[in-house]
Amino acid sequence: MAATALPTLKPQDFASDQEVRWCPGCGDYSILAQMKKALSTLNVPREKMVFVSGIGCSSRFPYYMNTYGFHTIHGRAPTFATGLRMARPDLQVWVVTGDGDGLSIGGNHLIHALRRNVDIKVLLFNNEIYGLTKGQYSPTSRLGTKSKSSPQGSIDSPVRPLSVALAAEATFVARTVDVDPNHLTATLQRAAAHKGSAFIEIYQNCKIFNDGVFDYVTDKSSKADNSLYLEHGKPMIFGKDRNKGIRLNGLTPETVVVGKDCGLDDVVVHDEKAENATMAYLLSRMMVPQFPEVFGVLRQVSHPTYEELQQRQIDEVTAKKGKGDLDKLFRNDDLWVVE
Amino acid sequence: MAATALPTLKPQDFASDQEVRWCPGCGDYSILAQMKKALSTLNVPREKMVFVSGIGCSSRFPYYMNTYGFHTIHGRAPTFATGLRMARPDLQVWVVTGDGDGLSIGGNHLIHALRRNVDIKVLLFNNEIYGLTKGQYSPTSRLGTKSKSSPQGSIDSPVRPLSVALAAEATFVARTVDVDPNHLTATLQRAAAHKGSAFIEIYQNCKIFNDGVFDYVTDKSSKADNSLYLEHGKPMIFGKDRNKGIRLNGLTPETVVVGKDCGLDDVVVHDEKAENATMAYLLSRMMVPQFPEVFGVLRQVSHPTYEELQQRQIDEVTAKKGKGDLDKLFRNDDLWVVE
Amino acid sequence: MSATATAREGRKVQEVESVTIRFAGDSGDGMQLAGTQFTNVSAILGNDIATFPDFPAEIRAPAGTLAGVSGFQVHFASTDIHTPGDRLNCLIVMNPAALKTNLKDLEDGGILIVNSDSFGPNDLQKAKYAVNPLDDNSLKGYRVIRVPIDKLNREAVKECNLSPRDADRCKNFFALGLVYWMFERPMEATLKWIRDKFAKKIDVLEANTRALKAGYNYGETVEMMPVQYRVAKAKIAPGTYRKLTGNEALAMGLVAASQLAETPMVYAGYPITPASDILHQLADMKNFGVKTLQAEDEIAGIGAAIGAAYGGAIGVTATSGPGICLKSEAIGLAVMTELPLVVIDVQRGGPSTGLPTKTEQADLLQAMFGRNGECPVAIVAPRSPADCFDMAFEAVRIATEFMVPTFLLSDGYIANGAEPWAIPDVKKLPRIKIVHPTLPNSTDGKHHENGNGEVGKFLPYKRNAMLVRPWAVPGTPGLEHRIGGIEKQDITGNVNYEPANHEHMVRTRAQKVANVAQTIPDLQVEGDADGDLLVIGWGGTFGSITTAVERARRKGMKIGQVHFRYLNPFPKNTGEVFKKFKKFLVPELNSGQLLLLLRAKYLIDAKGLNKVQGRPFLVSEIEEAIEKMTS
Amino acid sequence: MSATATAREGRKVQEVESVTIRFAGDSGDGMQLAGTQFTNVSAILGNDIATFPDFPAEIRAPAGTLAGVSGFQVHFASTDIHTPGDRLNCLIVMNPAALKTNLKDLEDGGILIVNSDSFGPNDLQKAKYAVNPLDDNSLKGYRVIRVPIDKLNREAVKECNLSPRDADRCKNFFALGLVYWMFERPMEATLKWIRDKFAKKIDVLEANTRALKAGYNYGETVEMMPVQYRVAKAKIAPGTYRKLTGNEALAMGLVAASQLAETPMVYAGYPITPASDILHQLADMKNFGVKTLQAEDEIAGIGAAIGAAYGGAIGVTATSGPGICLKSEAIGLAVMTELPLVVIDVQRGGPSTGLPTKTEQADLLQAMFGRNGECPVAIVAPRSPADCFDMAFEAVRIATEFMVPTFLLSDGYIANGAEPWAIPDVKKLPRIKIVHPTLPNSTDGKHHENGNGEVGKFLPYKRNAMLVRPWAVPGTPGLEHRIGGIEKQDITGNVNYEPANHEHMVRTRAQKVANVAQTIPDLQVEGDADGDLLVIGWGGTFGSITTAVERARRKGMKIGQVHFRYLNPFPKNTGEVFKKFKKFLVPELNSGQLLLLLRAKYLIDAKGLNKVQGRPFLVSEIEEAIEKMTS
Ligand SMILES: Cc1ncc(C[n+]2csc(CCOP(=O)(O)OP(=O)(O)O)c2C)c(N)n1
Ligand SMILES: Cc1ncc(C[n+]2csc(CCOP(=O)(O)OP(=O)(O)O)c2C)c(N)n1
Ligand code: SF4
Ligand code: SF4
Ligand SMILES: [Mg+2]
Ligand SMILES: [Mg+2]
């Protein structure tokens, strides 16, 4: 299978012949656009890319990509992706899921795929709602969310996708947002470059059933003060005037004004490579209004992938026992001959 | 339903008429014994207690308790317990599960029950193996564990039950071990006293398929140096000579010798009430040999339970709309009369 | 619509027996609302009605595309009717896409009202029209009425200072007004609805009001409009009526059952089309003490429902086919532990994700057999939207009376379809008797295991004459016991692996379900009680089959009809009924599932009429099949 | 065991045709090992053999209790046999609990060897014996041989400096030695096994060796022992043989298929009794390139298997009934996406958790119908342990040749039971042809969507004559396409909600499965090709049915036998075969599942013989049923 000539790939080459069927104004459109842009920069032949998804508005994603794609069943995408990678470590496998698909019905598979460090890139479109089923609250909906299924407001306290990913020992954990094209593209590229499970939470606006939940980090007015863009090796500075920072008081983070409350070197410097994920965990807990919410790569460490370890064992066993021989296998027990 | 006279309850009153069918030497026996002891101190009428379990050796537990009991299906016990509490907030509901039942097939239900803060007490018997199915590695088995299903050693890096519980926003998180009767009993009592989801990981020895995995924290010789018993408000001191402590260097814990490396007040003082769970998370990551492993209550905070919030909404709605009236319900739309 | 012309103030008015109309437009055009309003008004007028909403799988496919077309069909008549109608007498289309996808259903010479403002090049291209169908003569077979609805509507609301976008949102009311005039519907009810609905948005209130009236007046004044039609009151049993969809009826039936059983209900489910509305409805009935859980998945949903039942509540869960797959293991547990449980399956097109918003009847065999081991459950199936109320009630009654999981098989068609419902007298509704024992049920002289001195022991699997075990709930002193999914010894309920006991229990569980037949009504034969052909149906096909059989019998054929509302067990007299007929036709929206059960059990050479298109039967389709079999 | 006495060096030796013996003791007593050794030795001797291990659900129930009893039955003969035997000729019991639970199976006058050292008050009480059965004459109907095994064994190994506990562990070898003597089995093979097994534990090696020999010599010397028995070689087809359990055979069959299809295999499953061994076996065959995943649950298992199949590997998953419940939704997806997949169900007692270690055939209808919508799959079922090899191979062949999920229904009885297997010549094994397309399959002149200039487009649902779509795998340039669980348009595979297409696809998926019948062997009638009675079976009941039919025919009855190894679709000639018989008997270890399918499809008034006890049929049970139907 000769690869298609690479240099020719443009973002539009990744558009399939299917018409896109999201609601006008849905945040998914922007993610789709940035994905095409990101992929066109990877030098990976298009036929080597596979998009695997569950069920949900977000999970329609594969139909719109002119790569291989598998729209599976609700919540189980990581399992299909795991099997696919086991069979075909030569493929680049993307998993597209939603906050319901990935954290409600599918939470367990997500955790286990991450802990195994299977080389898949999981994109969780978090719109804090069930879109496709027309507006029920989700495991990420804030307490008190009024929805069709919670007319008096939701009473289940939400989970934080990034905390869960970290607890699942994920080796790449990041967050970005639909309406920040450059950051979104860059984050997708980072995920593509990572060897092992990559988990990206993408804040995504559901125009119809949850419009504006993320305005506080997307509106010009409040964006700067409510979002902290992480960069490896750089101090955690944010704010309209780039003068706010995060300082640690023991284990408790606090927002400080640099120059006023303290100097720049009191501000925490981001280290995405730290094996000890405590700071990443801490960042995953920061929420507006007490804190800015973080964007970028919280954690990126290198561990062997499940597929690598599996191949290593196969090689070892084959080296020891020799390549499988059916006749030997059939005879690996007491035999007797009948004349 | 008048309660049975309380004062008469002795541990043996909790023994059912079923013969116990665990392997000789199984750690489950000790847990069963301590449970009976703990319950006999609670002043809760026996008929108000229900043990709900999944499937596994550990999940046979309910049959041996002369309370109400429900041996359900694999991995789903938290869901049955949730429904039971919704219907009957007057009951004290215990969930008994295993590392396979609770973290492999059942991981998602565990997380969602905990995040909802349903008032159930979850006991996860962690023997790092599938006992009932005769010895396959589990999600808590250490990397490289050789088992029937991993003849060359397991390649999936394990999850840490306590980290998962914390990421799931659990309000009570503790660890104890089968062979420490007093600590086990005390921890069960603490869980019983907690209002909301309580999660306890119990190190349990599987005599047949994983004998001795926890020797390093149970053997006289190594116990003291390998285990740190947490007490709220007390410094984190451990070791044969009670002279070792845990100090924080930024976000990184380190083991120090008090008096030599530092003074007692450099040693972290345990605060199980901290809303910010970072330290608890950090404790959940400490493992032998780098660190001692922690026992006791890592976290205990008070949040309203799912059942309380649900009842509150029912009361509010009833106050607003009045008690449900079928005829009104039937007529809550355009009507027309045919003569 | 066979018509008789009369004259009124110089304008033709035709009396017709029944009319079928459909509003079709973009998902954004508010067709569902227009259709609903028209239905209400018609019902209030005293017509018999049946409706069929039909919407796309996408929330909002791009405006103007074929995928985005949403339709609402209303059949209203002066006679009693059972279906939303096969062919349309009148079709209202708001854009070319709607025309393209709906025209095939319009009768020859039927009335076609088109919003002529929406046939620009762009609109046509979105609908994949090469040439404008309004110009190429392709519509000459119909009575086309072009109305510049966009323009007229904007005109009508221009003083309401709405944004152009919001102004256009009133389009559907303009169209509705026009149709009201055409079929002599009064506007009051809808005007009132607008007033209530938009009380807080005074501009919108005013605009919609004007749009509706403008549409009505347009009909009144414009010459190009054809005759008006009059559909007289139907002869309907006296009473107070409301409109009810199947899902609404299910929710009400469940709550009614809970009230009349004086036992609280716990509903736990996971959203899925087309069952989600049941959760939405019940979540809003908290003042009936209903507790709802939006579970993390279908397994958690049924787990919680079973846990609640174990605690003494009425445990209910609902889903659609894919969700039933996930619930099947837990259903097995409920069968083994003999706990009451109601499992609702609002069937949709399958297999797999299939056609989520379309209807089908292909989960019957899954309900019967979709679990490991011999695992019998009771199964009921409502035959119409309003019947969902009665069968929900029955499901709760059977589940609690027999301590057995009970399936209720609805489908997308009756779940979303609506029909008039005669509001019952609450006092006359049957009660459901539920007993939780409080004392040991054996007096074997042994002291009670709890050592508190009562004589006798509680035996959780000691059965009554119907083979039903007692529903003892936690919290009852002295009755402590353990249940679970491992085979149990009869009477004691202890874990038991003995061969003879297992076989005994397998047969006992089956017999218990068979005993349900003692408590359900006999199968009623409609039409001829014996004859050449018996038409056999179940579920949402009732309306079409009934109408087809009525028509066939009017033609003098000797035909009987039975419709199963109870599918497991079958009514006692089923075999008897079959003996009286020579041939058997079983129309189903599947590949022959009831057919298989009947052939296997009764060894009758029944034939299936099987349609698997995600849509209900047309009456004509069944008529033809009947003709074929009788000629 | 009809015997003819001969004399040898003064001691009686009887020639017998076949013998059934059972070792029974505590789970800790090593009965499974003793039974396995006896089986191997008998096979090597040239007897035909069949075995039936039977162990408790608990890992190790408390020593000496009834729940802890473990047994291993061996049937060995000089004629060819198909079952482990109904009644025991000889029973070896290591303790009272074993006596209590097994005695009922011993024939009158049968030989009963008891370890008399284990009948102390304590042992008796654990086994719930009020009085010692050795003293109360209750055993007078048998030839009781009391052997103080504990004492003799300790004596034999006392110089091996083992702990008392370890010394007692050798008991089973002492008993085995005794039985070896009794049935004239040579000890060599077992002695060799001991040497290999305990090479590193020299003391244990020595002790077990001595125990075995001591047992043998005890028989030789002690007068109290009755006659010896001789079972001659059986007339078995020439060849090299080994012993194979069903689960071993499945694993080997899968690996062989993968090798002969030159396509790697990915096995993903979640442990469950009695299927776990398949995972264990395959995990140890890594040098065949087999990749195994112990998934987090059954859903993940099948998900990974389907994902692997999508990637071009042979995707396999195995479980038991409860796991099938969980896999059912994903099976529906595989049906919709038309991917090859092998799903193995090693059936166990149900419903729910049921009797995990016991056998049953009650998942057939679940395999057929246990999914939402019309969701047809292919189903095969091996009829014996060794047949698992062939049917595993067939399952892979059908799945890949027809792009359809294929069920293989095994059961606990054949999974753990063993029989001789003639080792096949690898060169003679059939090949499986698998093609992954590399070029577009249409030449509609359009340029390919990927714009790289090839003419034509890849149409993932364009079918061959058998209606099978191409298996194009990711990584193939130019064939990029998307699949999923929503209904698809035929040929293009695009998402499609059109009514006509849906019906077309439902029928196409059904017809494709029906086409499998073109590639499977006709149903073979054993015995009489026409006659009064046809006995119809499937799966693991083959042995019992065959033996019963043979016996009945020896009595002169005119009886035919068919055994379905292919259950969906049925072989082409099935209807023809049935036409030749008047009556039909369908013995099944369920409540009549194949029976239901046959009655519905062929409208034959077949009768079921249904046993649901977690145990296989006794030949006598089937014989009686045959007699009843023919008299
Ligand atoms: C087994 C199953 N259960 C339920 C559903 C219905 N369903 C489809 S998508 C969805 C949730 C969608 O929410 P999310 O994952 O957040 O995706 P979004 O639509 O918001 O992008 C649900 C409940 C289903 N398709 N399958
Ligand atoms: C649906 C289902 N899948 C698999 C099984 C088989 N099974 C029973 S228990 C178990 C795991 C037991 O491990 P764990 O939860 O750690 O309990 P333990 O026996 O170690 O106490 C498995 C895989 C089952 N009973 N049901
Ligand atoms: S419902 Fe929400 S998430 Fe779904 S397509 Fe529409 S806007 Fe996007
Ligand atoms: S197998 Fe292990 S966990 Fe299970 S009962 Fe035996 S010792 Fe305990
Ligand atoms: Mg969402
Ligand atoms: Mg375990």
Q: Does B208 touch chain D (CB under 8 A)?
A: yes
Two tokens at D425? 């010549």
How many helices (H) and strands (E) would you count in chain C?
A: 20, 24
| Residue pair D360/D350 in contact by the 8 Å Cβ criterion | yes
How far is C104 from C539, CA to CA, in rounded Å? 27
Sign of the alpha-carbon torsion through A63, A65, A67, A71 = negative
Residues of chain D in contact with residue C333, where contact means CB-CB under 8 angstroms, are: 352-353
Two tokens at D568? 């969906």
Q: Do C478 and B81 touch (CB under 8 A)?
A: no
Cβ-based neighbour number of residue A319 at 10 Å: 10
Two tokens at B274? 């901290």
Interface of D with C in 526-545 (CB under 8 A): none
Task: Quickly list DSSP for C329-383.
Answer: HHHHHHHHHT--EEEEEEE-B-STTBBTTS---TTHHHHHH-SSSS---EEE--S
Q: Do A19 and C296 touch (CB under 8 A)?
A: no
Over residues D149-164, the mean pLDDT reads 93
| Residue pair C229/C16 in contact by the 8 Å Cβ criterion | yes
Confidence of residue C429 (pLDDT cuts 50, 70, 90): very high
**What is the reported pLDDT for A7?**
53
Output the CA C287–ligand 5 centroid distance in Å.
30
Residue reference for tokens 């003799």: D152
Over residues D190-205, the mean pLDDT reads 94
Tens-place pLDDT, residues D339-392? 999 999 999 999 999 999 999 999 999 999 999 999 999 999 999 999 999 999
Average pLDDT of every residue of chain D: 93
Cα–Cα distance list, B59 to B52, B80, B96, D57 (Å): 8, 14, 6, 14
Average pLDDT of every residue of chain C: 93
Give yes or no for residue A130 CB within 6 A of ligand 3: no
Residues of chain D in contact with residue C597, where contact means CB-CB under 8 angstroms, are: 600
| Residue pair B24/B67 in contact by the 8 Å Cβ criterion | no
Task: Label the pairing between strands B49-53 and A293-300.
Answer: unpaired
How far is C28 from C30, CA to CA, in rounded Å? 6
| Residue pair C541/C610 in contact by the 8 Å Cβ criterion | no
Task: Give yes or no for residue C444 having a pLDDT over 70.
Answer: no
Give yes or no for residue A101 CB within 6 A of ligand 3: no
Two tokens at C406? 């009970």
Q: Which residues of D18-29 are buried (b: 16+ CB within 10 A; e: fewer)?
A: bbbbbbbbbbbb
What is the DSSP code (8-state) at residue B307?
H
How far is A132 from A53, CA to CA, in rounded Å? 14
Confidence of residue D465 (pLDDT cuts 50, 70, 90): very high
Residue reference for tokens 């042979």: D314
How far is C311 from B138, CA to CA, in rounded Å? 32
User: Which residues partner with C588 through β-bridges?
Assistant: C610
Residue reference for tokens 């964007």: A295
**Range scoring the smallest mean pLDDT among C450-464, D197-211, D278-292:** C450-464
Q: From the alpha carbon of B134, which atom of ligand 4 is closest?
A: 1
Residues of chain A in contact with residue B166, where contact means CB-CB under 8 angstroms, are: 167
Question: Residues near B30 by Cβ (< 8 Å), separated by ≥ 6?
Answer: B178, B179, B181, B184
Helix (H, G, I), strand (E, B) or coil at C527: strand
Over residues A90-119, the mean pLDDT reads 98
Residue B113: closest CA among B71, B68, B75, B70 = B75
Two tokens at C395? 């499901």
Q: Do D374 and C591 touch (CB under 8 A)?
A: yes
CA atoms within 13 A on the CB side of A188: 29
* Element at D376 (helix H, strand E): none
**Range scoring the smallest mean pLDDT among A25-39, B244-258, C227-241, C368-382:** C227-241
Confidence of residue D8 (pLDDT cuts 50, 70, 90): very low
Percent residues over pLDDT 70 in chain A: 98
Give yes or no for residue B57 CB within 6 A of ligand 4: yes
Residue D52: closest CA among D609, D543, D548 = D543
| Residue pair A55/A36 in contact by the 8 Å Cβ criterion | no
Cα–Cα distance list, D615 to C503, D50, D394 (Å): 10, 15, 27
Output the CA B103–ligand 2 centroid distance in Å.
11
Burial class (CB in 10 A: 0-12, 13-18, 19+), D454: middle
Rounded to the nearest 5 degrees, what angle is found at the Cα of A117, between the Cα atoms of A113 and A121? 75
Helix (H, G, I), strand (E, B) or coil at D145: strand
Helix (H, G, I), strand (E, B) or coil at A104: coil
Confidence of residue D225 (pLDDT cuts 50, 70, 90): low
Residue reference for tokens 């605690």: C311
Ligand nearest to the CA of A104: 1
Residues of chain C in contact with residue A140, where contact means CB-CB under 8 angstroms, are: none
What order of strands is seen across the sheet that includes strand B198-203?
A: B227-229, B293-300, B172-177, B198-203, B120-126, B92-98, B49-53, B68-71, C482-484
Residue reference for tokens 């309370």: B67
Cβ-based neighbour number of residue D521 at 10 Å: 11
Percent residues over pLDDT 70 in chain B: 98
Rounded to the nearest 5 degrees, what angle is found at the Cα of D218, between the Cα atoms of D216 and D224? 125
Give yes or no for residue A64 CB within 6 A of ligand 3: no
**What is the reported pLDDT for D453?**
45
Q: Which residue of D has its CA nearest to B154?
A: D294
| The total number of residues written for chain D in this structure | 631
Confidence of residue B1 (pLDDT cuts 50, 70, 90): very low
Ranges of H-type helices in D103-201? 121-126, 149-157, 164-168, 171-182, 188-197
Residue D123: closest CA among D97, D160, D88 = D97
Q: Which residue of A has its CA nearest to C68?
A: A21
Two tokens at C609? 């009429």
| The total number of residues written for chain C in this structure | 631
Helix (H, G, I), strand (E, B) or coil at D554: helix
Confidence of residue C8 (pLDDT cuts 50, 70, 90): very low
Confidence of residue D285 (pLDDT cuts 50, 70, 90): very high
| Residue pair A69/D483 in contact by the 8 Å Cβ criterion | yes
Task: Label the pairing between strands D3-8 and D11-16.
Answer: antiparallel
Over residues C392-400, the mean pLDDT reads 98
Over residues C58-72, the mean pLDDT reads 85
Confidence of residue D1 (pLDDT cuts 50, 70, 90): low
Give yes or no for residue A59 CB within 6 A of ligand 3: no
Task: Give yes or no for residue B81 having a pLDDT over 70.
Answer: yes
Give yes or no for residue B127 CB within 6 A of ligand 4: yes
Angle between helices D298-310 and A107-116 (to 10 degrees): 60
Over residues D173-180, the mean pLDDT reads 96
Report phi then psi at D386, rounded to 5: -70, -30
Instruction: Output Rg (C-alpha) for chain C, integer angstroms.
Output: 27
Task: Give yes or no for residue B324 having a pLDDT over 50.
Answer: yes
Q: Which residue of A has its CA nearest to C126?
A: A19
Give yes or no for residue B58 CB within 6 A of ligand 2: yes
| Residue pair A239/A162 in contact by the 8 Å Cβ criterion | no
Cα dihedral D126, D128, D133, D137 in deg (nearest 10) = 170
CA atoms within 13 A on the CB side of B20: 21
Two tokens at C284? 């809003």
| Residue pair C387/D392 in contact by the 8 Å Cβ criterion | no
Q: Do B137 and D62 touch (CB under 8 A)?
A: no
Over residues D397-402, the mean pLDDT reads 98
Two tokens at A61? 């994603």
Task: Give yes or no for residue A112 having a pLDDT over 50.
Answer: yes
Tens-place pLDDT, residues B158-204? 999 999 999 999 999 999 999 999 999 999 999 999 999 999 999 99
**What is the reported pLDDT for C204?**
94
Task: Give yes or no for residue C11 having a pLDDT over 70.
Answer: no
Over residues D16-22, the mean pLDDT reads 94
Q: Which of D284, D290, D310, D442 to mutate to test the interface with A (most CBs of A within 10 A)?
A: D310
**What is the reported pLDDT for D456?**
74
Q: Does A44 touch chain C (CB under 8 A)?
A: no
pTM, to two decimals: 0.95
Q: Which chains touch D (3 or more CB pairs under 8 A)?
A: A, B, C
Two tokens at B284? 């959940």
How far is D497 from C360, CA to CA, in rounded Å? 13
Q: For atom 2 of ligand 4, which residue has the closest CA?
A: B206
Over residues C591-602, the mean pLDDT reads 98
How many helices (H) and strands (E) would you count in chain D?
A: 20, 24
Average pLDDT of every residue of chain A: 95
How far is A29 from A204, CA to CA, in rounded Å? 10
How far is D246 from D381, CA to CA, in rounded Å? 12
What order of strands is seen across the sheet that includes strand B335-338?
A: B335-338, C239-245, C418-422
Confidence of residue B4 (pLDDT cuts 50, 70, 90): very low
Two tokens at C228? 């008006």
How far is C16 from C227, CA to CA, in rounded Å? 12
How far is A308 from A196, CA to CA, in rounded Å? 10
Confidence of residue C398 (pLDDT cuts 50, 70, 90): very high
Residues of chain C in contact with residue A73, where contact means CB-CB under 8 angstroms, are: 322, 352-353
Rounded to the nearest 5 degrees, what angle is found at the Cα of D575, between the Cα atoms of D572 and D581? 135
